[in-house]
Structure 1
Amino acid sequence: MISVGFGADVEKDNLLDQSLDALYEKRGSTREKALESIIEAFSQELQHEFVEKKCATLLHQCLNSIKKGSVKEISLASHAIGLLALTTGSGNNAREILEDSVIPISQALRSRSESSKVASLLDCLAVITFIGGEEPEETERSMQIMWDVVHPKSSTNVVATKTSPAVTAATVSAWSFLLTTINAGSLGLKDWQESIAYLSTLLDKDDRSVRIAAGEALAVIFEVGDFERFSGEKVGSGNNTDNDIPEGYIHLKGLKGKVLNQVRELASEAGGKGAIKKDLNNQRNMFRDLLDFLEDGYSPETSIKIGGETLTTSSWSELIRLNFLKHFLRGAFVKHMLENVFLHEVFRFTPKKKTAWGNEDYSLDKLNEKRLYKSPNSALAKARTQYMNKQRMMLKDRKTGHFAAAYSEE
């Protein structure tokens, strides 16, 4: 058996090579330790040289772990694949990671076992699609796979079992993350109706994490959705009467009104027995922001200090994207934000250069994150809007496909 060394005196490259070799071992515990070591190495440093030489080997050994490993091994392998994709950045390697991983991940999701395993697989699928999905159909495919987790179709051969709140929240969060990348103008009225109707049902669930995830998804939908184009543009001139307005558009407006009432209640929900104050406050803050947005068009603006520079968000899409990647990267978030060129491009973030006086402590605990004033016409909001438009152009319509929301009444 190949021994995996964890001593500080072992060179990093040798440690990664030994860990990769250990993924061939039959004993599951050995593979788990190797994956933990690989994740730690990818979290502490951006392993560009290792990835350049052994990207395919590491990917396929991780996929083998997803196919045959324990719940813990599958979760670790999923996280390792996501870190691998984030390290490679966009390009051929990222595309290959996505194409080679979609089927094994989809098959693993069908087993519907531990919530932690499913959540890790969903996070992995979201990240590798975000980085490697260059065609509209690729994003649509991943979003459909996610939706089948909570609403499996008869054609998918998925055993219809009750989805846990943890899995539901993870699914909606991953789906929302990819929703921030699509061209909403290509989506049809039915797409929006089905998605909003389903997410509205989640706002009534008992689990707070599910309600928050659904609220964030609805925020992105109402931010990117150009619903007015369904109001009767094909019926006649601009002098349409109420009778000319399509029923589908009226239904859509009714759904938005229902959501508005639900959001208003959640923004002021009283704490019940056993309610955790922090979680309740998080819910109230989130839904108050959403209420401001739905009623007056005010988007939440946030600021995070990283390495002496400020990263700001001024739209729901940017905020959801940032929060998801912080969630996925965990303790590696600061390191990647300081050194990962791909993330610099995603957030248009340029960290300060290192100086001869040394480096400051940029641990996640010391990040200074705060909510800024909210104004739809602020200079910050305008600048970020211009950036978002420019980014979409630079990506050459990278995400222009329809997302498929497999909604069914229960």
Structure 2
Amino acid sequence: MRERDLRKQALESGKTVSRAARSKLTTPSSSRANSATPSRVGSRLPSRNASDDDEDGLSDTTQWSTASIDEMISPPGGGEELEGEGTDAWVGVLESQMEEIVERKRSSAQGREEALRMFCALVTRHYAAEQLKGRTGELVAAMLKSVKGAGSGKEVVLALKALALVVVTEPSDEVYDALSGPVKTCISDSAFPAAKVAGLRCLSVATFYGGATLEETEGVMEFLLDVVSSDGAVVGEMDDSAIVTAAIEEWGFLATQMEDLEEGTETAMETFVEQLESASAEVQIAAGDCIALLYEKSYTDAESDEEPAEEDEDEDQTNGHNHGPRMVKRYTVYRNLPQLLSTLTALSKLSSKHLSKKDRKQLHITFSDILTTVEKPTRGPRYSTALDEEGREMGSRLKVAVGRGGGRMTIDKWWKLHRLHGLKRLLGEGFLVHYAGNQVVFDKVVEVEVEVEES
């Protein structure tokens, strides 16, 4: 990985405007009441916190995307046969797949599926901005035809994945306007639940990278909260844990670019606290992560002339005032903090025969982190109060390997973790490729310092 300027400024997105009154969407007439997959207590947890060490077991091979979609886009043999033919062999293959996608008149549904699958695999594994340049308009138009068409569920899912990859590889300020309407229609009306999940993911990426205004971003976040608060019923998939999890996770991803979340915090907290009672561990964890983010967002850097409140003084003393600028609480996040702390404590110690030992451990670690942040909002994920050699608290010790050169990201803020999660969900094993070559990914999604360990 080539050397870069490793300290980046945070995304300058400005403050959000006040949230409009939330209006519930009505369930579409084409929704199928019995199509949902009921959420299950024993649902498998995401691959997170994989070791007992203070470093997260994440690498370029970690699978963060939905497993079924990962398998769907992987070429036979994982694509190694393309790499073995030469460093540029993939370019010709990608060109032929793009031609197949754009030229629809003579294509079959099976042919379109294969072309989209290969496109997704290649654009995930390689940074293809040069190859996509000048072709995004026709690619987006062709992929939207697959989304709108009456083809197979697989074709729709792959088209939505491909659209998201196009947006992150070759961003455009106009693409949100082109995608938001058709993708929202797909989320509401598709006959395929998997397509609705893929639609939620695609909508989030298009909003983040596609030129959406702050008001439009806020509108998408409201829509996602509607999906969550209705347990998926608003898009015709009642109690579908995959739908609800996707909506929560993408809300958190979009929330990271909002400078001021005060106006929307009360509604969001009520929604996420309710989801802590879900029978799905994935839903619980996603909701907990967003709760931690909301508490973190309630504190901002103190102005030079501001006098800290008593609780902020206590927080500074606890943290040793050594892990960044002094932070000040701006507003109350949740009115019933004792109840929330009780719920989080219970989840951090949950014992259930429906969970494997490994899954139970991951649940405990995750909610211990969330509980720590709710109690002390300036503390990030995997915060350690152990003292270093200079007598300072060690702080957040969640580190992510970024390649084979010893580089590691320190994820000391929840907003950083949410952004990293969002990118890994989209790019999977290709994350490091885009991190190294895609300036948009490097600048606007990760924005964290990378330390290189000396050998």
TM, length-normalised to structure 2: 0.64
Pick the aligned partner of 2:437 from 297, 318, 339.
339
Give the Cα separation in 2 of the matches to 1:265 and 1:151: 22
Count, aligned residues: 319
Q: Which residue of 2 aligns with 1:81?
A: 163
* CA distance 1:98–1:253, shift in 2 (3 Å): closer
Q: Which residue of 1 aligns with 2:95?
A: 17
Give the Cα separation in 1 of the matches to 2:410 and 2:451: 15
Instruction: Say whether the 8 Å CA contact 1:150–1:171 is kept in structure 2.
Output: yes
Pick the aligned partner of 1:71 from 139, 150, 153.
153
Q: Which residue of 2 aligns with 1:305?
A: 401
> Quick check: 1:101 aligned with 2:179?
yes
Q: Which residue of 2 aligns with 1:291?
A: 371
> Quick check: 1:136 aligned with 2:214?
yes
Q: Which residue of 1 aligns with 2:282?
A: 209
1:77-98 per-position Cα deviation (integer Å, ceiling 9, x unaligned): 1111111111124xxx2x2221
Instruction: Say whether the 8 Å CA contact 1:133–1:139 is kept in structure 2.
Output: no
* CA distance 1:66–1:306, shift in 2 (3 Å): same
What SS does the corresponding residue of 1:162 show, helix, strand or coil?
A: coil
Give the Cα separation in 2 of the matches to 1:121 and 1:105: 6
Q: Which residue of 1 aligns with 2:125?
A: 44
Pick the aligned partner of 1:199 from 272, 277, 284.
272
Q: Which residue of 1 aligns with 2:362?
A: 282
- 1:274 to partner: Cα distance: 3.0
Please identify which structure carries the higher helix content: 1
Instruction: Say whether the 8 Å CA contact 2:143–2:163 is kept in structure 1.
Output: yes
What are the ranges of 5 or more consecutive residues in structure 1 without an aligned counterpart? Answer: 1-5, 228-237, 239-248, 354-367, 369-410
> Quick check: 1:167 aligned with 2:167?
no
Instruction: Say whether the 8 Å CA contact 1:306–1:338 is kept in structure 2.
Output: no
What SS does the corresponding residue of 2:117 show, helix, strand or coil?
A: helix
What SS does the corresponding residue of 2:135 show, helix, strand or coil?
A: helix
* CA distance 1:220–1:350, shift in 2 (3 Å): closer
1:224-239 to 2 correspondences below 5 Å: 224-225=297-298
* CA distance 1:256–1:114, shift in 2 (3 Å): farther
Q: Which residue of 2 aligns with 1:348?
A: 447
1:328-353 per-position Cα deviation (integer Å, ceiling 9, x unaligned): 21111121112111122132368899
Report 1 or 2 for greater relative contact order, CA contacts < 8 Å, sequence distance ≥ 6: 2
TM, length-normalised to structure 1: 0.71
Question: What residue identity is the alignment partner of 2:370?
Answer: L
Instruction: Say whether the 8 Å CA contact 2:147–2:186 is kept in structure 1.
Output: yes
Q: Which residue of 1 aligns with 2:258?
A: 182
What SS does the corresponding residue of 1:291 show, helix, strand or coil?
A: helix
Q: Which residue of 2 aligns with 1:259?
A: 340
What are the ranges of 5 or more consecutive residues in structure 2 without an aligned counterpart? Answer: 1-78, 301-308, 310-330, 382-395
Q: Which moved more, 1:210-219 or 1:134-143?
A: 134-143
What SS does the corresponding residue of 2:189 show, helix, strand or coil?
A: coil
Give the Cα separation in 1 of the matches to 2:225 and 2:335: 24
What SS does the corresponding residue of 1:304 show, helix, strand or coil?
A: strand
* CA distance 1:259–1:351, shift in 2 (3 Å): closer
- 1:291 to partner: Cα distance: 1.0
- 1:294 to partner: Cα distance: 1.5
Question: What residue identity is the alignment partner of 1:197?
Answer: E
What SS does the corresponding residue of 1:311 show, helix, strand or coil?
A: strand
Q: Which moved more, 1:72-81 or 1:108-117?
A: 108-117
Pick the aligned partner of 1:114 from 183, 192, 197.
192
Question: What residue identity is the alignment partner of 1:225?
Answer: S
- 1:282 to partner: Cα distance: 1.5
What SS does the corresponding residue of 1:184 show, helix, strand or coil?
A: coil
Give the Cα separation in 1 of the matches to 2:376 and 2:229: 33
Question: What residue identity is the alignment partner of 2:156?
Answer: I
Question: What residue identity is the alignment partner of 2:96?
Answer: Q
* CA distance 1:333–1:203, shift in 2 (3 Å): same
